[in-house]
Amino acid sequence: MMALQLPPNFTDRVRHNEPLASYTSWRVGGPAEVFFKPQDAKELAAFLQSLEPGTPIHWIGLGSNLLVRDGGIRGVVIATLGAFNELKRLEGNELWTGSGVTCAKLAKQCVKWGLGSGEFFAGIPGTMGGALAMNAGAFGGETWNHVIEVETIDRRGAIRLRPAGDYRVAYRHVDGPSDEWFLGARLRFEPRPNADETPIKLLLARRKATQPIGELSCGSVFTNPPGDHAARLIESAGLKGFHIGGARVSDKHANFIINDGTATADELERVIEHVRATVQRVHGVALTPEVRIVGERK
């Protein structure tokens, strides 16, 4: 494949062949052909306008739901963390968040502003851009229950505001205009003037008791099928502890796959595939991966 052509004003602003493992919570994956961390929406718009039509574009937040294959990603990777980090209170019970704001920061800021029902964001180790793309949720809360409108940018650099109604949203699924990504969102919460961080601490403690927090993972690998739990199906198929190389089904929570520090993306993907095939054979249930698998095999 031909190397990507970038105009001279961006040659110092991008990194070529940037290893992506350190940008993902599984700590695996090959390099991005071109890696760009924009300063702001204006610079990003100019960058997108400069790309050849058809250049593959990928977005990455905190990489907590991404399996980047060992051969890396062709095209450009736009990284939002550190950019788009505006977080401000609006009238009523609303706020504006940039897509690079972490979910944990948003949860705590809601409490400070006397806004309730955003506590569930506290334990989700991603950005708000990732939460919007995934409809991230926990403990009964879901990102899109709070969205009023989103700000997006398309591959030609055009920025627009879109109402939530432009998106079809379901459990861990968001379907909207193609080739358009999130810069920020206006969210609404409940008034809770005497809010404090106790509910957040309780939710984090609950996670610590049931999930292998502190190990290298991507959280839940599969979505829960209707009326059941992926973890229950995986555990009862006898898969806890199953491993290939350094990739292993967690003993603590069967829907987590752990990198012991030596795994490759290929080993993780083979464990995912083995779990999927085994659950299909034993239970007759087709599990759907929640993690996004991107890039090229080596």
* Residue ranges in contact with ligand FAD by CB under 6 A: 25, 58-66, 80, 99, 123-127, 129-131, 133-134, 136-138, 181-182, 213, 217-219, 292
Contact 263, 246 (CB under 8 A): yes
Which residue, 71 or 114, has its beta carbon nearer to ligand FAD? 71
Which residue, 277 or 296, has its beta carbon nearer to ligand FAD? 296
Instruction: State in angstroms the smallest separation of the CB of 120 from ligand FAD.
Output: 8
The Cα 38–Cα 84 span in angstroms is: 9
Instruction: State in angstroms the smallest separation of the CB of 57 from ligand FAD.
Output: 9
Classified as helix, coil or strand, 78 is strand
The Cα 191–Cα 211 span in angstroms is: 31
Which residue, 23 or 113, has its beta carbon nearer to ligand FAD? 23
Instruction: State in angstroms the smallest separation of the CB of 181 from ligand FAD.
Output: 4
Tokens of 128: 């708000």
Instruction: State in angstroms the smallest separation of the CB of 274 from ligand FAD.
Output: 21
Which residues lie closer than 8 Å to 217 by C-beta, 6 or more apart? 25, 26, 250, 256, 257, 258, 259
Q: Please report which residue ranges of 72-115 form alpha helices under DSSP H.
A: 103-112
Tokens of 190: 């409940």
- Residues recorded for the chain: 298
Which residue, 40 or 277, has its beta carbon nearer to ligand FAD? 40
Instruction: State in angstroms the smallest separation of the CB of 32 from ligand FAD.
Output: 12
Which residue, 89 or 252, has its beta carbon nearer to ligand FAD? 252
Contact 105, 63 (CB under 8 A): no
Nearest Cα neighbor of 69 from 35, 34, 19 is 19
Q: How far is CA 93 from CA 48, 71, 110, 140, 257, in A?
A: 34, 45, 10, 20, 38
Distance of CA 127 to the CA centre of its chain: 7
Instruction: State in angstroms the smallest separation of the CB of 262 from ligand FAD.
Output: 18
Which residue, 213 or 285, has its beta carbon nearer to ligand FAD? 213
CB atoms within 10 A of CB 242: 17
Nearest Cα neighbor of 96 from 165, 189, 174, 166 is 189
List active site positions: 172, 220, 290
